[in-house]
């Protein structure tokens, strides 16, 4: 059950909403009856319309003075507290500014050091790149020289390889002619049978002179200018 606060005027007793007149003796009145009763008894405006209780002016002044003293004390304490907080904040801000200044100076010094280091590394990089370019040029030159010398060496090897073959060819031709002359002196009774020697024939043992190499009859088709025929008597 909800109990509403009602007007304490005996002929009213209606519920109070948001505005009301309240006395120090804990009586409440509606706006209508409060304005009417307090205006009608203007000379006794400090008297409660319900119970007639009131206060003397000296008591009211004492209460007012105590209230003002209390208010002044609270305002003063709040002012001192806010001043202390402001001073503490100011000191803290000053300390932070000093720390920030030191950090900025430190960062500037580190930045200058990094710049000098970057410039030094850039100079060293340019120097190393120049050395690398020089070494690359020298390597290319050496490579060209090696290729040239390799080509000359191959050419010389081919020349040295062709010269003995040419001399062997001339010797073989002369030897073949000499063999032909020797065969022409054979007797008529001596039959000449041409039988090429096979690579797998090991039943015959032939002795060849180092200066008289055997003619390779298997290469006959490749040498159409030479024909070996025995001379008949």
The torsion angles phi and psi of 42, rounded to 5 degrees, stand at: -65, -35
pLDDT band for 176, please (50, 70, 90 cuts): very low
| CB 231, CB 184: distance < 8 Å | yes
**Cα gap 168→43, rounded to integer Å:** 163
Going along 5-106, which residue ranges are E strands?
Answer: 21-22, 28-29
pLDDT at 231: 61
Distances 13 to 5, 36, 51, 55, 131 between C-alpha atoms, Å: 9, 15, 15, 26, 110
pLDDT of residue 232: 58
Q: Examine the pLDDT at 206 and tell me if it is beyond 50.
A: no
Kindly tell me if the per-residue pLDDT of 192 is higher than 80. no
Query: Mean pLDDT over all residues of the chain?
Result: 75
Q: Out of 57-61, 73-77, 196-200, give the one with best mean pLDDT.
A: 73-77
Average pLDDT for 133-155: 93
Band of residue 159 on the pLDDT scale cut at 50, 70, 90: confident
pLDDT recorded at residue 227: 54
Query: What gap in Å lies between CA 185 and CA 188, rounded to an integer?
Result: 9
Note the pTM of the prediction, 2 decimals.
Answer: 0.34
Residue from 150, 130, 131, 152 nearest 142 by CA: 150
Fold entry, domain 1-54: Herpes Virus-1 (3.30.40)
Of the listed ranges 45-49, 63-67, 82-86, 206-210, the least confidently predicted one is 206-210
- Give the separation between CA 96 and CA 68, rounded to whole angstroms: 41
- Please indicate whether residue 199 or residue 140 has the higher confidence score (pLDDT): 140
**CA atoms in the 13 A half-sphere facing the CB of 9:** 19
Sign of the Cα torsion 91, 97, 100, 102 reads negative
Per-residue pLDDT, averaged over 145-165, amounts to 84
- pLDDT for 187: 47
Q: For position 129, what pLDDT does the model report?
A: 94
Domain layout of the chain by residue ranges: 1-54
140 versus 177: which is more confidently predicted?
140
Q: What is the mean pLDDT of residues 87-116?
A: 95
Q: How far apart are CA 186 and CA 184, in angstroms?
A: 6
Give mean pLDDT, residues 104-127. 95
């Amino acid at each position: 059950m909800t109990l509403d606060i009602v007007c304490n005027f005996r002929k009213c007793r209606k519920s109070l909403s948001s505005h009301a007149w309240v006395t120090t003796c804990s009586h409440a009145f509606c706006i209508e009856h409060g304005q009417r009763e307090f205006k009608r008894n203007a000379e006794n405006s400090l008297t409660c319309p319900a119970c007639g209780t009131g206060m003397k002016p000296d008591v009211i002044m004492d209460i007012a003075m105590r209230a003002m003293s209390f208010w002044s004390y609270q305002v003063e304490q709040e002012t001192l507290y806010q001043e202390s907080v402001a001073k503490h904040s100011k000191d803290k801000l000053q300390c932070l500014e000093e720390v920030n200044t030191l950090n900025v100076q430190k960062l500037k010094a580190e930045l200058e050091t990094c710049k000098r280091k970057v410039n030094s590394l850039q100079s060293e990089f340019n120097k190393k790149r120049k050395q690398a370019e020089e070494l690359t040029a020298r390597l290319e030159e050496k490579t060209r020289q090696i290729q040239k010398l390799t080509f000359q060496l191959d050419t010389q090897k081919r020349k040295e390889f062709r010269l003995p073959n040419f001399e062997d060819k001339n010797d073989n031709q002369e030897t073949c002619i000499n063999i032909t002359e020797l065969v022409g002196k054979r007797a008529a009774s001596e039959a000449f049978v041409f039988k090429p020697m096979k690579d797998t024939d090991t039943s015959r043992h032939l002795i060849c002179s180092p200066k008289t190499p055997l003619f390779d009859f298997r290469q006959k088709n490749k040498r159409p200018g030479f024909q070996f025929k025995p001379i008949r008597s």
